[in-house]
Structure 1
Amino acid sequence: MESALLSFRKPALAVLLLYAALGLVSCEAKGPPATVVAKPKQERRQPVAAPQPVAPKASCTLTNDTLAGQPFGMEPTVEELLNSGAKIVSRKAFENLHEAGQTDTIITLQHQGNLFEFYHSPEKDLLRQAVITNFKPAYGQRLRLTLNESARQSGGPCGQLRLRDTDHANMVSATFTAGQPSLARVQPYLD
Structure 2
Amino acid sequence: MLAVLLLSTSAKALTAASLYTTMLLSACGPDGSKTDERKQATQAPKPPTTAKSAAAVPGPTAKVVRLTNDSLAGQPFGPEPTVTELLKAGGTVVTRKPFRNLHEAGQIDTILLLRHRGNLFEFYRAPEKDLLRDASITNFETAYGQRLRARMAAAHRPAAGTTERVRIGDTERANYVSVTYNGGRLSAVHVEPYVD
Using structure 1 for the length normalisation, give the TM-score. 0.67
1:166 pairs with 2:167: no
Q: Which has the larger radius of gyration?
A: 1
Q: 1:150 & 1:57 partners in 2: Cα distance?
A: 19
Corresponding residue of 2:183: 178
Corresponding residue of 1:115: 120
Deviation track 1:50-102 (CA, whole Å, cap 9, x = no partner) reads xxxxx976011110101111100100000000000000000000000000110
Aligned with residue 91 of structure 2, among 86, 89, 96 = 86
Structure 1 unmatched runs, 5+: 1-54
Q: 2:72 & 2:151 partners in 1: Cα distance?
A: 6
- Percent identity of equivalent pairs: 57
Q: 1:166 & 1:125 partners in 2: Cα distance?
A: 24
SS at match of 1:60: strand
Aligned residues: 134
Corresponding residue of 1:135: 140
User: What is the CA distance between 1:149 and its match in structure 2?
Assistant: 1.9
Runs (4+) of structure 1 exceeding 3 A deviation are: none
Q: 2:185 & 2:76 partners in 1: Cα distance?
A: 16
Structure 2 unmatched runs, 5+: 1-59
Corresponding residue of 1:147: 152
The question of whether the paired residues in 2 share the 8 Å contact of 1:60 and 1:151 is answered with no
| Higher relative contact order, chain-length normalized (CA < 8 Å, sep 6+) | 1
